[in-house]
């Protein structure tokens, strides 16, 4: 079905008498010249309607979303303080004339009109004024919104500052729900992958679950906290499309903004911010334990907590513990075996049982069924069961079944493993990138790896192609 143009919607909304079915009595907001105010996007036109029950956001579609009905039906039965209230779809609500003076009724969606400013505008205003306190408040408000979002079974799908409204009390609220994931749509593919400037460059329509906001959350939070440290970053790197960071440039390792953010955070001693920023370089569009990253960032914003990577192992009376940068004990030496913190967690063995702990010593992942575990790298940790190695993810779930004689750490989205006496390479999901064929091999670095075959040593790329013979 062909949908009306924005101009046709404007004509109908400008003269609503007899054109609305259920919204009679509402009037569209107008500018100083008496013209209807319109906010136009890629898929729809949005109008502010004034009525006795308060203002509404009226959304009229010029491009129909695949799951609009399912999303708004879900929102009506699952209200959330993270979203504008009263979101619902109105079928056959607005009559629109065509060019032949005929017409028909079209579906629209409505929701509470959220009073406030977009996060995008507030970032710009605070950064140009070099208002660090305001920027820190915006960062904290966004992190609270993000933690609430991560706790849901749904996801927004197009998370960006333009889709976040900051109320007068500082509360941040999500608007624009057409790209959402909801549980009834599990297993489907989406038409909407969100605004590319806030998405991992490898995200596609097949990635459609409650984790689709994770990369956007880390990108926005990193940018906001960096601006709170140095508002001047905005003038140097904002290009109207991104707050500071281009995902494509960051993942490719050629982002000057990323390099400066990390340097700024290190100078300020904000190691939690450095840890968060580093996840943005992930070669795959998956970031594990985002909530933990946000918690660590919040707790270290004022220097109130030691970041995991600031700790160091120490041994006392044959037992291992952890100390802070000042030498004071952070975690008492009670462990029979332990490793340094990596990606916010450390592997430890207590009474013969392996687990992963956080910097407070709290067990985050129980690995009692495994004989040995290695540290996390890129969201994967190698684990050994019944003499064979496999991998778990940051939630402790076994994502690659044990079946290898040796399993290395994930590097650049790959891990070197040994099977049948020979070495090869797998990806994060356990799929072979290069089947076992080498007598020895090491992890990839900068896209290449050193391998040995038939007494000769080669440098190869990720396709297994020989770049040159070393010896």
The alpha carbon dihedral of 196, 248, 244, 169 has a sign of positive
Residue 292 confidence (pLDDT): 82
Q: Are strands 329-335 and 337-338 parallel, antiparallel or unpaired?
A: unpaired
**CATH class of the domain defined by 117-300:** mainly alpha
Read off the tokens for 388: 């064979």
Q: Tell me the C-alpha distance between 377 and 382, whole Å.
A: 9
Contact 417, 426 (CB under 8 A): yes
Q: Where in the chain is the domain with CATH 3.30.200?
A: 6-112
Read off the tokens for 374: 């290695």
Q: Tell me the C-alpha distance between 190 and 174, whole Å.
A: 20
CATH number for the domain whose boundaries are 308-433: 2.130.10.10
Q: Where in the chain is the domain with CATH 1.10.510.10?
A: 117-300
Q: Where in the chain is the domain with CATH 2.130.10.10?
A: 308-433
For residue 137, the Cα-to-chain-centroid distance in whole angstroms is 20
Residue 302 confidence (pLDDT): 46
Three-class SS state of 367: coil
Per-10-residue mean pLDDT, the chain, length 471: 86 84 89 87 88 90 88 93 92 86 88 94 96 93 93 94 94 94 94 90 92 96 96 93 94 94 86 89 86 78 57 90 85 94 92 92 93 93 96 92 95 94 96 95 91 91 89 66
For residue 332, the Cα-to-chain-centroid distance in whole angstroms is 34
Residue 304 confidence (pLDDT): 41
Partnered with residue 281 across adjacent β-strands are none
Residue 111 confidence (pLDDT): 93
- This prediction's pTM: 0.65
Q: Does domain 6-112 have CATH number 3.30.200?
A: yes
C-alpha pair distances (Å), 346 with each of 152, 266, 307, 308:
27, 22, 12, 9
């Amino acid at each position: 079905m062909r949908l009306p143009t924005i101009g046709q919607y404007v004509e109908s909304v400008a003269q609503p008498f007899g054109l609305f079915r259920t919204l009679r009595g509402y009037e569209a907001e107008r500018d100083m010249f008496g013209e209807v105010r319109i906010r136009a996007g890629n898929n729809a036109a949005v109008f502010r309607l004034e009525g006795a029950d308060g203002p509404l956001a009226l959304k009229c579609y010029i491009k129909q979303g695949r799951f609009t009905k399912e999303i708004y039906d879900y929102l009506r039965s699952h209200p959330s303080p993270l979203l504008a209230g009263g979101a619902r779809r109105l079928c056959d609500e607005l009559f629109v004339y065509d060019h032949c003076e005929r017409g028909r009724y079209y579906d629209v969606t409505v929701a509470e009109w959220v009073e406030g400013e977009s996060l995008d505008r507030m970032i710009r205003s605070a950064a140009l004024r070099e208002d660090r306190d305001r920027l820190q408040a915006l960062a904290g408000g966004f992190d609270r919104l993000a933690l609430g979002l991560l706790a849901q079974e749904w996801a927004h799908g197009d998370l960006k500052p333009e889709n976040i409204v900051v109320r007068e009390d500082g509360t941040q609220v999500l608007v624009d729900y057409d790209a959402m994931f909801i549980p009834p749509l599990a297993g489907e593919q989406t038409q909407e992958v969100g605004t590319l400037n806030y998405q991992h460059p490898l995200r596609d329509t097949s990635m459609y679950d409650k984790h689709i906001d994770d990369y956007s959350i880390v990108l926005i939070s990193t940018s906001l906290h960096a601006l709170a440290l140095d508002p001047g970053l905005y003038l140097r790197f904002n290009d109207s499309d991104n707050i500071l960071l281009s995902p494509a440039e960051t993942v490719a390792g050629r982002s000057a903004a990323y390099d400066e953010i990390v340097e700024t955070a290190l100078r300020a001693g904000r190691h939690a911010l450095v840890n968060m920023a580093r996840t943005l370089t992930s070669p795959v569009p998956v970031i594990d334990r985002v909530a933990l990253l946000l918690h660590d960032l919040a707790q270290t914003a004022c220097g109130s907590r030691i970041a995991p990577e600031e700790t160091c192992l120490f041994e006392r009376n044959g037992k291992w513990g952890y100390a802070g940068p000042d030498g004071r004990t952070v975690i008492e030496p009670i462990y029979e075996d332990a490793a340094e913190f990596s990606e916010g967690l450390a592997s430890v063995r207590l009474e013969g049982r392996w687990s992963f702990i956080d910097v407070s010593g709290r067990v985050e992942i129980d690995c009692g069924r495994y004989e040995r575990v290695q540290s996390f790298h890129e969201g994967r940790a190698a684990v050994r069961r019944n003499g064979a190695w496999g991998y778990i993810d940051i939630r402790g779930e076994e994502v690659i079944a044990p079946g290898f004689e040796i399993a290395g750490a994930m590097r650049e989205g790959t891990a070197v493993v040994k099977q049948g006496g020979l070495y090869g390479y797998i990806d994060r999901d356990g799929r072979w990138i290069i089947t076992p064929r080498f007598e020895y091999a090491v992890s990839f670095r900068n896209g290449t790896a050193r391998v040995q075959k038939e007494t000769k040593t080669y440098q190869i790329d990720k396709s297994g192609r020989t770049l040159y013979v070393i010896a």
